[in-house]
Amino acid sequence: MADNIKIEWDKIHNIIDKYNSNPENLLMIMQDITHMYNYVPPEILPLIQKKLNVDESLIYSVATFYKTISLEPRGKHIVNVCTGTACHILGAQKIMDAYKEKLNIEEGETTKDGMFSLEGVRCIGCCASGPVITVDNEIHGGLDQSKALKVIGTYEQPSEKCAVKEEG
């Protein structure tokens, strides 16, 4: 994601209003904003604080506790490697190492071109298919290092809308 994003304040207000500025909906509000920008831009926090009448510390707690929420810019694609016990036994660390080397980043970081962020996550409930990763919301299982690299290779390609298939 670009550093210089333009905040669409009307949409932000609409999201907060949709949840009636209710502090109990803080997580949902932050998730909706995350869907727009892949993170919650810090310049929005004072507005959330004011409209929901919550402490800044609560916003930071939510962002720290939930892996899906970030206050830092993240990549276009979020790669989550499951590091739960079953996946760990089945070789999750090798997958993580392959991604670190290929993307030249550490866990929790984003590639310089803004394409990928790499995260480790706890069990996502598909243990029988381990080792498992998710890219954005798609789950990929039964991976080894080479299959795992092929998976993210498909996300480096142009989107299907732009791909031109040669006929005949």
Question: What is d(CA 72, CA 5) in angstroms, rounded to the nearest whole number?
Answer: 12
Nearest to 33 by CA among 23, 24, 43: 43
Shortest Å distance, C-beta 89 to ligand FES? 9
- Using CB under 6 A as the binding rule, whether residue 45 contacts ligand FES is answered as no
74: how many CB neighbours lie within 10 A of its CB?
20
Alpha carbon distances (Å) from 96 to 11, 64, 88, 134: 36, 21, 10, 12
The token pair at 82 is 């499951």
CB 43 within 8 A of CB 7: yes
**Among the listed residues 5, 47, 58, 86, the single contact to ligand FES using CB under 6 A:** 86
Shortest Å distance, C-beta 120 to ligand FES? 11
- Kindly identify the residues of this chain, within the stretch 123-152, that bind ligand FES according to CB under 6 A: 123-127, 130, 132
**Among the listed residues 12, 79, 81, 87, the single contact to ligand FES using CB under 6 A:** 87
- The residue (of 71 and 139) whose beta carbon lies closer to ligand FES is 139
Shortest Å distance, C-beta 85 to ligand FES? 6
Binding positions for ligand FES, rule: CB under 6 A: 82, 84-87, 123-127, 130, 132
